[in-house]
Every structure is written in C-alpha cells, then in structure tokens.
Structure 1
Amino acid sequence: MSAISKNSLKSSLLQLECHFTWTLLKQDVDLDDLEETIDNQIEFFMISNTTNYNLLSYVCHLKNSNEEALRNLQKAEEEVQKNHPDEIARRSLVTWGNYAWIYYHMGRYEEAQTYVSKVENSCKKLSSTAQLKIQLPEIYAEQGWALLKFGAKYYMRAKNCFENALKNEPKNPEFNAGYAIAMYRLESFSQRQCEDVDLCLEPLKRAVELNPKDTFIMALLALKLQDLNQVDEGEKYIEEAMQKTPDLPYFLRYAAKFYRRKGEVDKALKILKKALVVTPKSAFLHHQLGLCYRAKLFQLKKTTRYPPQEQVEELIRLSIFHFKTVTDQKTKFFSAHTDLANMYAQGRRYEEAEEAFQKAFQINILSCSDKQELYYHYGNFQYFHRKSESEAIKYYIEGLKIETESYARNKCRNALKKLLEQRIQVGLGDATDFGTLGLFHNLNGEKHEAIECYEKAIALDPDNEEYLNALCELRLSISS
C-alpha cells in the first residue's frame, strides 16, 4: 500500500467512532481484571451483548491478541443479527470501526479500508450529511459503558455520554441505567473528595421505574437510600430484588454490602458465600468477605472486654485470606492492599504489613485521594504499630502536601495536628515539632498561625535555614 493511501487510511480511521478513538488508556486499568469482568457480564446478563463483545475485542487488542479480538467482533456481529435484524448498519458502526483499526494494526490495510468504506456508506444512508461520523444515541451509550469500565477518571465523560444519548431517547431504560450508574459512581467518588452531594437518587429511581427487572440498579438505589438514613426504604428494594434474582452475583454482592453496613454481618456473609459459589474468582466478593470478617473482629473487640484469643486469631486469619486472594488476583485493587496491610498489623505480622504497604505504593493508577488514604494508613501503621512518631508525622505531611481536598486529606490533617499538639503539650515539643506545625498551618492556609510556629521553631534552632526561609516567605506573602 502506498504511503499516501496509508496516510489517508489512518486519517479516516481517526474519524471513526469506536473504542480506538475514545482515548481509553490501558495504563488506567488492570486488563486481566477487566477481561474477567466482561466475561462474567456476558455470562450473567441476559441482554444483547454487542457492547460487551466490542469492548472485549479492544481489551484483547491491548493485550496483543488481535486474532482473539477479531473473534469477539464476529460475536458482536452475530448478536446484532440476532437481536436487531432490521437495524444491522445502525447497530454495527462501532463494531466495523473496531474491525478497521484491528486490521490496520495487523498490517492488513485492504481489509481495514473495506471496513472504513462500510462505515462511510452506512453513515451516508443513515444521515444525508455525515461521512464517517454520525451522532447516534446507541453510540453515545456504548462509549459511556466503555468509559465506566475504565475507572474513576472516566466517570464524568461517561455521564456526559449518557446525557447525550438521553437527549434523543429520554425514556430508554438502558440509557437511564447507564446515566444512573455514572452518577452513583461519581457521587461515591465525590464523597471521598469531601463534597456533599445527593444527585444520583432521582436518576436511580427513574432507572428502576423504567426497568423494574434490573436488580443491579435496585441494589444501588438501596445503598443510596441507606447513605441517606432511609434504611427501611432501602431494604424493601433489596428484598424485592432478592425475590427476582436470588442467584445473580452482581446483585448479591451489593445486597451483602447493604447488610454489612447495616450491622447484620452474618447475613451478609451468607449472601456472599452464595454468590461465591457462582463466581468463585470474583475479587469484589472476596474483598467484601474480608471486610465482613474484619467487621466481626471489631465487633468482638468492642463488645467483649477480654475476647477469646482463638476467635480473634481466626477472624484475622479469615480476613487476611480473603484480602490476599484479592491482591494476588487484582494487583491494582488499592483498597484491598491497604486492608491487607492493616490486617497483618492487627495480627502483629509487621514485615508482611510493610510488604503489603510497599506494594500499594507501587500501584501506578492511584488518584490523589487514594494516595492521601495510603499515606494516612501508613502513618497510622508507623505510629500505632511501629511506635515511630517521627515516621508517622512524615507520612501524614505527605498526605497533606497533596492539595486535593478529600476525606483522606482531612484524616491526615487531624491525625497530624493531634500528634504534634500532644507532643508540645507534654513538653516533648522541639524545634522540629514547631517547624512541622508551622508547615501544617501553612498547608492549611493559616498563615498567622504558621508564622507563630516558625518563630517558636527558630527560637529553639536559630540557624535553621528551612525555618528562616519559610518565615521570610510567609511574612512577604502577608505584606504583599
């Protein structure tokens, strides 16, 4: 193929609406885990799986399995023929776009061009003006589903995609479900970022009204109502959904979460074990089981003055087993790593706790609030288990230095302030403590308090350049 026609092919490919042009980056996701998630959804959700096969083809390409990617696109085409025989062109544009890109990456340019032409001709028939792009609600929705699968940094884009799909079909149950999930995920993420929002309640209710069979959405609605202290109302939805899909693992895991948070831990465990029979490899289920055994441990310690050691050790063992199952399988599941590390610390297995924390630090897809959370837990580990106040202070400060406001940053802030003030009150406070408290106030935007602390630090350590420079900068910022 000549350089000119190869360039024009690439130019056409970039105009297609498909997974290859939606900026879905493989470094943002655990590909093995995503592949397993899609396989499970294909198995358990009895709906048209065109969307899942298209996404699976893209994941296979990212894993350098282009032949497997082509096989999944073939399955996507079969799904369209089976479920939408009257709308084959309209429903196949994303599939054909993916075909074109995969053939291009395989160096099979003639076949790639064939699929580009197929998209172009279909777009011309479906819209008199469009050439390679057409704004169909189905395509917006398919993009939305793919974005949801690629993690928190994509949730806002996913929400926008479903909004665009709903403009054309406001009562479409699938689009409403996608929008509600995107809102729920965004809100869960926002709560960790300290924002008090309840915008997903109405979209969840609407999605349930439009499709009362969707028990996955019913479970999310129940959890949201639980967040809003409407526990009885939430439980009605869980019980109704339990009647409809008693064996659907995607529903059961959220039902178990509902009961664990309600304090009915044994009921949650029973539901999780039932779901685990159906999907024994599910990292989500193992993580929830670990959280349940941890909750039982804390309950035991809280309600019993001298809890039986064998019981304590057994709950720690079970919790560690399930958290470790998750981290072995999902190397980037951040909260499972910190849960495992903390549970090792509970069992006084400090070397293993240290190792688990270090693995968490190496995860390359952590958000700012994840990093703050990690610094907070590691600071606690240093303080409560390693008995090192200086190391604890160091890591709380690292969490505070990340300026994104979040629940975790608040925890770092409170822990650091409490520890420093304690040291100063009992007379242990030295220049370093006052200097650190100065930094703490400065990071909080409390400049006058920061100046006061740096002055005390310099009184104890007059030649310290770091404190002198910080004090000078603060005074200048106030006077300017």
Structure 2
Amino acid sequence: MPCLGRRRGSRALELCKTVRDLLKKNLDQLQCHFTWGPQKETIDLDDMMYRLQDSIDLNLKYKARSCNQFAFVNSLQGNYEDAIQNLKEAEKILRENYKDAFERSSIITYGNYAWVHYHMGQLTEAQSYFDKLEMICKPLTDGPRYTAMIPEVYGEKGWSLLRSAAQYYEEAMECFEKALEEDPNNTEWIMGYATALYRLEAIPGTPEKCKSSQSVNHLRRVLELDPEESLAMVMLALKLQENKQKKEANELVQQALQKSPDVPKVLRNAAKFYRLEQAGEKAIELLKKALGRTPHNSVLHDQIGMCYRVQLLEVFKNPLSSDPQNPEFQPKMVLIDHCKHHFGKAFEHRPRTAIKSQLDYADICLRNGENSKAGEVYSKLLELEGIRPENMQIIWLQAGLFQLHKRKSDSNAVQLFQKGLKIENNSKVWKMCYENLDKWAEKKLCRDPHDSKALGVKGLLHQIDGNKSKAIEYFEEALEFDPSNEEYLSALCELRLSFEEHHDL
C-alpha cells in the first residue's frame, strides 16, 4: 500500500506539472506587461516604482495604466499581494471610466492577473482569467484565443515601452502606429506617437533625428483635437524653440502654465524652456514647485542641478571667486553644494539610467578640487552593465579625460578613448574620442618618434579613416619597437590582406 500511495502521489505531481506547463505556454501568448520587452535586467525598478507611485498619487488621467505597470514591477520584486491590489485598483478605475468599453480596455489587466496568480501558484485563479479573456477576445479577433490586437492593446503597450527605457522607443512608436491605423483620430495614441518621435529625435544616431519636424506635426494634431492638452503645448514649445520660433513657443508655454499650473510634467518642460532662454531663476521656481508635488522625482532634481550649474559656471569666470577671503567665494560654494545635492538626488535611484547626472556630479567635484570623489563616480560608472552604447561612449570619454589630465595615466586614458571609438555612430562624443587620441599620439611622437604605443594609435586612426597604406606604415613601425604586440600584428595582417584583395580586383 505505501508503494501504491507513492505511485499515486507521483502521478499527481506529474499531472500538476503538465497543467502548469500548459498554462505557462498559454501565458506566453498573452499581450500584457509580462510578455512585453522590458524585464528586471533592463529597467531600474526603484526609480520606476517612484515614478509610478507619483503618477498614481497625482490621480492623473490614465491612472489605471500606472496601476497595471505597478503590478508588473511589484511582481518582478516578488510582491505578489501588492500586485493583486494594484490590479484591483486598475480594474475599478477602468469600470468607472470606460463602462460600455470596459471589456476591451481590460484585456491587459486580465492578462496581468493571470500571470500574477501563476507566479503565486494559484493555477485555478490564473485559468479563470484565461476564460474571461477568451470570452472577451473571441468576437474581436480571428487570431489567438486569449488576446486581440486592437488599438487599446497596441496603445497600452506603446505607453508601457515609453515608460521603461530608451531602447524601446522605436518599438513604442510602431505600437502607436498600429493603434492609429484603426483609430486615426484618437488623441491618446497620437500623443503617444508624438512622444515617441519627440524622444527619438533627441537621441543621436536614430533615423528620426533627420526628420525632426515629425513630432511637431503630430503635437499640432493633438492640439487640434484637444486644445486643453497642456503637455502637448510645452513639448511643442520646446521643439519650436529649437527651430528658433520663439514667439509662438513662448505663448504656448504661458498658455500651458495657465491651464495646468500644478502638473509636474508641464512645469518640468516649461522650466526647461526657460532654462534654455537663460531665465534660470524662473526655471528653478517652476521645478521646485513640481518637486513639492513629486519629491522623489529624479528628473526634476537633475533639471534643478543643471540650472544651478549654469549659474556656477558664470561665477567661475570671476577669478575673485577662488579667493576664500573674497565675498564672491561664498556664493560659489553655495552653488557647488546645490549642484551636488540635486545631481546626487537625480541618480540616487537611477544608477543605470541617470548617466548624465553622474557625469555632471563628477564634473562639479573636479571643479571643486575633489578629484578622489570624481574618481569614485567614474569607477562606478565603468562597472555598470547593460548600458546603452551612446551612454557607455560618453562614460569612456569622460573617464578617459579624467585619467589623462587628473590621474596622469596615459595608458588608461588611451584604452578608454579607444573603447569609445568602437561605437561607430559618428557622434560628437565619438569625434572627441578620436581627437583626444590623435592629439595625445602627436604629442608623444614629438617627444619620442619611436614610442610604439603612439605609433599604434596613429595606425588605428588611419585604419578608421580608410587610409590603409598609411595605417600599415604606422603598424609596421610600431612593431619595430614592440615586435611581440599581438594587437598590432593582428591589425597589420588584416590590413595587408584587405590591401592585397583590393589591388587584385
């Protein structure tokens, strides 16, 4: 009998595993936060939680969207009971706001419910949400049983991706395009599309950078359909400011502040407009007002730090500010403290994404003679993983300059500049890596024409420029003084082979 009991127990476990595996297969087909791109490795969970909580506390227009994403973030951290509460709140809001269209708008919420119950081991509850999804989706699609690719799904996915990380902006744009195919006059999806374009246009190396008027056209369309959309006003104002259309831009900012005097995103964008107009005090006033509503908002701290940094750079122009006995010295130190405080707050919860804030913090430390503190910042940045290539490139550049000028370590600096060159985006940062390497090599060779490291760098730069014969010449000379250098040997072999193939044609 004990043996029979063990066999029955074993069959029950196998059956349970089969049910769980089948459920997991169906879960992977759902359209919800658990199946979309951003996962634990690609987002800063602490920062995301602060931003989502701010959105929920402010009771903004699309609160259910924040509750849904908060449930996903809580699940990633193992807070499943909190995730269920987030989803209950999302479901309640959707019922109140959408009424007759509730079922269409609840597809993502029910998909998230199914995933959370699955992670909690509550397979029966998870299956119950599959049943609900099947009933909702069956009349909406001829495709998968448990989902329907309707505008509401594409739109929610687009907003989720926009809120996650920059590497998902292009995919977010595509989602809004899909949503607009069926619902071309939906201001929510047009605003999403405009926002994706707006952000992509600011990133060097993206195709949208060449078409910067695209976001302007879509922001104008949003305001045609909804003249009260104040966030679209300030975003459009910033684009017009960029295009030197100052009069209309200024009018839009004033109008947005009248309509939404307490909305943090509107205040933040308006502050950026005034900072770029050199109206620093006005910008700080708006940012502090926004910070009063969302005290943990890292972007607001970064913007305030930038405003104080502009003021600090003006003070540094006065040579009297370096004299502790002079009245100009104390205001300088106050500004340094302000900068460090706000830049520090900006990356406190965003170490993997707030790269610029950390570099700005290090810059302030260097200007204040705190070289060791700046060195600590660069060391931490260099240890980060999973960073966007353009962010890593600027880290290598700034850390390289620090090694070259403050640590007097030529070898470390050269190595960092060379890493920066490997990211081929022809950006301003790439050019600075190139120029610093060239300048360093020329200076070295003036002192010692036989310096193998400098000769190797010149060879690399000529190789990048496509001047193969000159590159071969420099690598050959570098090998005369460092004959066992595998890097030079490999480069020379590759160049010679390429050179011969070209001349054989």
Compute the displacement of 1:117 (Å). 0.5
Structure ID, larger Rg: 2
Using the alignment, how far apart are the partners of 1:222 and 1:323 within structure 2? 26
Choose which of 235, 255, 273 in structure 2 pairs with 1:240: 255
Pair 1:361-2:382 in alignment: yes
Residues 109 and 359 (structure 1), Cα distance of their counterparts in 2 relative to 1, 3 Å cut: same
Aligned to 1:327: 347
Q: Is the 8 A contact 2:312 2:336 kept in 1?
A: yes
Compute the displacement of 1:379 (Å). 1.3
SS in 2 for 1:86: helix
Aligned to 2:92: 78
Using the alignment, how far apart are the partners of 2:242 and 2:449 within structure 1? 42
Compute the displacement of 1:195 (Å). 4.9
TM-score, structure 1 normalization = 0.93
Aligned to 1:222: 237
Using the alignment, how far apart are the partners of 1:351 and 1:31 within structure 2? 29
TM-score, structure 2 normalization = 0.89
Choose which of 422, 429, 434 in structure 1 pairs with 2:455: 434
Using the alignment, how far apart are the partners of 1:194 and 1:342 within structure 2? 31
Compute the displacement of 1:452 (Å). 3.4
Aligned to 1:171: 185
Using the alignment, how far apart are the partners of 2:447 and 2:227 within structure 1? 61
Aligned residues: 479
Residues 58 and 464 (structure 1), Cα distance of their counterparts in 2 relative to 1, 3 Å cut: closer
Residues 465 and 245 (structure 1), Cα distance of their counterparts in 2 relative to 1, 3 Å cut: closer
Deviations 1:260-303 (A, max 9, x none): 2222222212222222222222111111111111111222334x
Choose which of 204, 227, 231 in structure 2 pairs with 1:212: 227
Compute the displacement of 1:448 (Å). 3.1
Residues 313 and 128 (structure 1), Cα distance of their counterparts in 2 relative to 1, 3 Å cut: closer
Using the alignment, how far apart are the partners of 1:95 and 1:37 within structure 2? 20
Q: Is the 8 A contact 1:48 1:83 kept in 2?
A: no
Aligned to 1:250: 265
Q: Is the 8 A contact 1:193 1:369 kept in 2?
A: no
Choose which of 117, 123, 142 in structure 1 pairs with 2:156: 142
Using the alignment, how far apart are the partners of 2:195 and 2:267 within structure 1? 17
Aligned to 2:335: 315
Pair 1:24-2:25 in alignment: no
Compute the displacement of 1:462 (Å). 6.2
SS in 2 for 1:15: coil
Using the alignment, how far apart are the partners of 2:67 and 2:483 within structure 1? 68
SS in 2 for 1:134: coil
Which moved further from structure 2: 388-397 or 219-228?
388-397
Using the alignment, how far apart are the partners of 1:131 and 1:103 within structure 2? 19
Choose which of 56, 63, 72 in structure 2 pairs with 1:58: 72
Deviations 1:96-122 (A, max 9, x none): 111111111111111111110110011
Choose which of 67, 85, 88 in structure 1 pairs with 2:81: 67
TM superposition outliers: structure 1 runs of 4+ over 4 Å: 127-130, 191-195, 425-429, 458-466
Residues 468 and 48 (structure 1), Cα distance of their counterparts in 2 relative to 1, 3 Å cut: closer
Q: Is the 8 A contact 2:271 2:286 kept in 1?
A: yes
Which moved further from structure 2: 223-232 or 31-40?
223-232
Pair 1:96-2:110 in alignment: yes
Compute the displacement of 1:5 (Å). 3.1
Using the alignment, how far apart are the partners of 2:104 and 2:131 within structure 1? 14
Which moved further from structure 2: 175-184 or 11-20?
11-20
Query: How many percent identity over aligned positions?
Result: 37
Using the alignment, how far apart are the partners of 1:95 and 1:249 within structure 2? 27
- RMSD between superposed Cα atoms in Å: 2.3
Aligned 1:324-403 pairs, distance under 5 A: 324-332=344-352, 333-403=354-424
Using the alignment, how far apart are the partners of 2:481 and 2:17 within structure 1? 72
Structure 1, unaligned runs of 5 or more: none
Using the alignment, how far apart are the partners of 2:270 and 2:450 within structure 1? 49
